[in-house]
Structure 1
Amino acid sequence: MARTGAGTGTRTGTGTPGIKDATAVVGIGQTPFAKQLPQSEKALACRAILAALDDAGISPAEVDALASYTMEETDEVEVAKAVGFGDLSFFSKVGFGGGGSCATVAHLAAAVATGQATVGVAWRSRKRGSGPRPWRNTTVQLPTPAQWTRPFGLLRPADEIAMLTRRYLYEHGASRDHLFNVALACRNRANQNPAAMMYERPLTRDMYMTSRWISEPLCLFDNCLETDGALACVIVSAERARDCRHRPVYVHSAAQGLPAQHHGMVNYWNDDPLTGPAWTAARHLWKHADFTPEDVDVAQIYDAFTPLIPLSLEGYGFCGRGEGGAFTEGGALEIGGRLPLNTSGGGLSEAYVHGFNLINEGVRQLRGTSTAQVPGAATCLVTAGEGVPTSALLLRN
């Protein structure tokens, strides 16, 4: 496969500086994950950020760029004061919940590559396990596009994805066994990961098939965990990355995706409701990469719900339209399979912190330090939430 030299300042076809391999993730950090943690979201955020900076060997005073989510309750001012940052020259927030995870890194990579900043920190802190359940208050959703769906029974994301899943199963002959393959692969990896909420808690097909419905055809094990916890990562230039504590993990390509006439998790106005934002993000991601889906050694694909995996496999080009279910057969998602997936356990079995744990696991894989290490992993695809406006990263070592 073709590989560019890291840190070469590769240019795009327009003649403008690109971000390809110009920056690297050099530090990752996280708090413990649990159903309930006593610390505030602010305290968890600060702990994860300090851990990531320590991992990189960089002082908090050197940080001059921040990126997080619009749903992050701890703002830049509070984090900067509490952690002890210097002057900030760049800060951004990305919308659409889990769809924003990879974009936080992309924003910082662009800021560092273009000289707006030198040390960037992306983070997400969340107390969904012990916090309020926002989907119980349907009234607050009515000023949004949900005004056209909530009155008819699609009260939660699970209900919307269930509707989409029913159509997918019907149109393409996929089955619940294919969804089980996804849940099992994530659980098997979590069973190897002491930090995972589902560590040493095996999943069997009988457990899956007899579990209670959450929103038919989605059962308990088709849904992500509800988790308290925080994660962070540190991004610097490729040149500086060579002097940090760990092997650099380069941001090779990055993309966001918001397709035309998009509605939400179920695209009523899209010509093809089963082709979501992943398809849009993927076109841009691969256009600016020296790799193809065949070159990806390991993937961390957003898994708030199991059916998002086959949909994303199709969107990012690992298989054809309607072939995502069949792709999961024969241990394809396990270590040694066609595409080892979510090797820390993902949102289904490690923790659900709006997908940020997938970024950190991608870094561990390319450092060679994962608890479920893919031998010789050199490229990793990380994706954000499918169904909502999304983002993706292609990482390399």
Structure 2
Amino acid sequence: MLCNCFGGGTFMSKLMHTPYRIGNIVISNRIVKSAMFEYCANQGRITDQHRQIYEDAARGGCGLIITGMEAISSTAGNGPGMIHTEYDGYLEDMRSIVSKVHRYSSRIFVQLQHAGPRTDWKSGYDRFASSPIKVADGIIYHAATKDELAKVVHDFGVAARKCKLAGCDGVQIHAAHGFLLTTFLSPHFNKRADEYGGPIENRSRLLFEIYDSVRNAVGVDYPIALKLSFSDLVSDSSTPEEMLWVCKELEKKGIDFIEVSSGISADNSGASCSPVLRNGDREGKFLESALLVSDTLEIPVSSVGCYRSPDFIEHILSSTSLTAISLGRPLVREADLPNKWRTSNEKAACISCNRCFNCTDVITCLCGKK
């Protein structure tokens, strides 16, 4: 029970440090390291930098670590700095990360992704989205053919199976922030006239096919999560009713965990991007959307987006239906925040400078982490 539920008081107990279940596995606490792209793969291969990042997060006390996005094939990423799951030696490299994470009783999910209109422009990378999208002068990504979509569906399943064989505790399907799956879910991008366009039943078809492929590849007992942009943050957005329908359908299919974000980064104004928290801003920018999902579903739901204060996080966990809170940038700055918050209510040191999104080495981030 809380002695002072919000406003900087001292807690008699902390719900954030209690366990919960995702599917058939136990997560030791309710702080999730949300996926952040690390930019440090070597021609698509896992490096020692990745091993250090995930070991630091586990040592720092994160109950669940979600990797930076990994491409489902060698042509699905946004460049050689993004891990892809097709290279020889992936299983061994991923096993080495899992081993480090499990030493600290943390769990690790791999975030699987096709970058869609954000794939690398180099020859050989896929160049498609739901509909034609101009990504630069003279460069237009075409509407994906059904054969291309069938390959994407297949590749998600193959990649998920590799993650399971590597000993990862689960996988997360990335359907947020303007990558391939977002271009199908969002009417801002999706102008198709076939069975993959139009009403939400069609716009979500690819996501459902991918989920089925992943589930068939890993079996009924292996945890599958989803990262979802609940709102596109543009005027022609998917509606809350549509996104709740998608979540309910996935719950019926057996999905185990949903992480709720928003934004599709559709323009240069920043309005459709995930927000940066400034001094005095309200934390939990997407809390209302996450609560709509968690109040509707029975499965665990996590909220991501500008959480910095342990007392606020504790207040949300103790007074709402949310199961967990996801952190990104604060854990780049301080990987040991979960352990710190066992005895301290000090706010995270992250100042939301956003420079960690542009670092080539997030281990020596410009925000001050050394």
Q: Report the TM-score, using the length of structure 2 for normalisation.
A: 0.30
Ranked by relative contact order (alpha carbons within 8 Å, sequence separation 6 or more), the top structure is 1
